[in-house]
């Protein structure tokens, strides 16, 4: 979608349980926070995020629920005409991962075939409940997965880069400048390094992962 300024612009919706860190994640990008706008009819904040690439600038209009999900399901208007999506859960909360399936179902009911990234936030926290080897939903649904830390900016740009490549059809697209970010908090790098397997690797058989995170069968 081309804007008057000529910059390709895409609607990106970010969904997930309340408290998973969606708003904090979005606010890490300074230009998106400074230029955000509120849509009262739907109850969302829209953050325009600009990324400079080797093929020119690209903009994501990131729709944040502003906590509306705590009062029930989101309105279809939130999803309509979305070009891409991020589903976020909290790696310190098993319930938020369990609910990923519901968010995915709501999303594809309206949007059908759009690029979707599954994101596990708060990977900087030592008391991690959902281990990487237990995260398999993305492989069943052909999604991409990343650990992120909104607090430390860890992997912040990775979901956006993957989506940008999918939307443009250019696997060689790269970001040529770091986005303007809030200063990251200091964390212990060992907390992230201990979870270092590539769970997007299709060569790893599904049965090598423990899918029954919750003791009540697969998602």
pLDDT at 184 over 80: no
- pLDDT: which is higher, 98 or 70: 98
- pLDDT: which is higher, 81 or 35: 81
Cβ count near 183 (within 10 Å): 7
Give per-residue pLDDT as tens, 129-182: 998 888 999 988 989 999 998 888 888 899 999 999 999 999 999 999 766 655
Scan for tokens 């590539």, then name that residue. 198
Confidence bin at 112 (pLDDT 50/70/90): confident
What is the overall mean pLDDT for the chain?
80
Confidence bin at 30 (pLDDT 50/70/90): low
Give me the pLDDT at residue 86, please: 97
Taking the C-alpha atoms of residue 63 and residue 15, their distance in angstroms, rounded to an integer, is 9
pTM as predicted: 0.79
pLDDT at 27 over 90: no
pLDDT at 189 over 90: no
Taking the C-alpha atoms of residue 208 and residue 150, their distance in angstroms, rounded to an integer, is 29
Distances (CA, A) of 54 to 46, 96, 165: 25, 36, 12
Report the range of poorest mean pLDDT among 22-31, 92-101, 192-201.
Answer: 192-201
The helix (run of H) or strand (run of E) holding residue 159 is helix 157-168
Confidence bin at 89 (pLDDT 50/70/90): very high
Terminal Cα distance for the chain, rounded: 35
Strands laid side by side in the 84-90 sheet: 37-39, 44-53, 56-64, 9-15, 84-90, 116-121, 144-147
pLDDT at 190 over 80: no
Give me the pLDDT at residue 67, please: 64
Report the helix count and the strand count for the chain, using DSSP H and E: 8, 7
Taking the C-alpha atoms of residue 132 and residue 153, their distance in angstroms, rounded to an integer, is 19
Would you identify the CATH topology of the domain 9-208?
Answer: Rossmann fold (3.40.50)
The DSSP line for 55-122 is TEEEEEEEEE-TTGGGGSSPPHHHHTT--EEEEEEETT-HHHHHTHHHHHHHHHHHH-S--EEEEEE-
> Which tokens is 14 given?
């970010």
The helix (run of H) or strand (run of E) holding residue 27 is helix 22-27
Percent of the chain with pLDDT over 90: 47
Scan for tokens 């600009």, then name that residue. 50
Instruction: Assess contact for 157 and 165: CB atoms under 8 A.
Output: no
Instruction: Say how far residue 43 (Cα) sits from the centre of its chain.
Output: 20
Give me the pLDDT at residue 116, please: 97
- pLDDT: which is higher, 138 or 73: 138
């Amino acid at each position: 979608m081309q804007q008057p300024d000529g910059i390709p612009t895409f609607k990106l919706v970010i969904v997930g349980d309340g408290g998973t860190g969606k708003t904090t994640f979005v606010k890490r990008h300074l230009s998106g926070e400074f230029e955000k706008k509120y849509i009262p009819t739907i109850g969302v904040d829209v953050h325009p995020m600009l990324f400079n690439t080797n093929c020119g600038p690209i903009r994501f209009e990131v729709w944040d629920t502003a906590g509306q999900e705590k009062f029930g399901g989101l309105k279809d208007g939130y999803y309509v005409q979305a070009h891409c999506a991020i589903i976020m859960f909290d790696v310190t909360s098993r319930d938020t991962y369990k609910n990923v399936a519901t968010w995915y179902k709501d999303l594809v009911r309206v949007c059908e075939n759009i690029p979707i990234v599954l994101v596990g936030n708060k990977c900087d926290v030592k008391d991690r409940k959902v281990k990487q080897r237990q995260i398999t939903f993305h492989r069943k649904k052909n999604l991409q997965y990343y650990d992120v830390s909104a607090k430390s900016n860890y992997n912040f740009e990775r979901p956006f880069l993957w989506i940008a490549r999918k939307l443009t059809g250019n696997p060689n697209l790269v970001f040529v400048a770091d986005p303007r970010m809030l200063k990251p908090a200091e964390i212990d790098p060992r907390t992230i390094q201990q979870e270092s397997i590539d769970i997007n690797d299709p060569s790893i058989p599904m049965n090598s992962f423990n899918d029954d995170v919750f003791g009540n069968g697969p998602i």
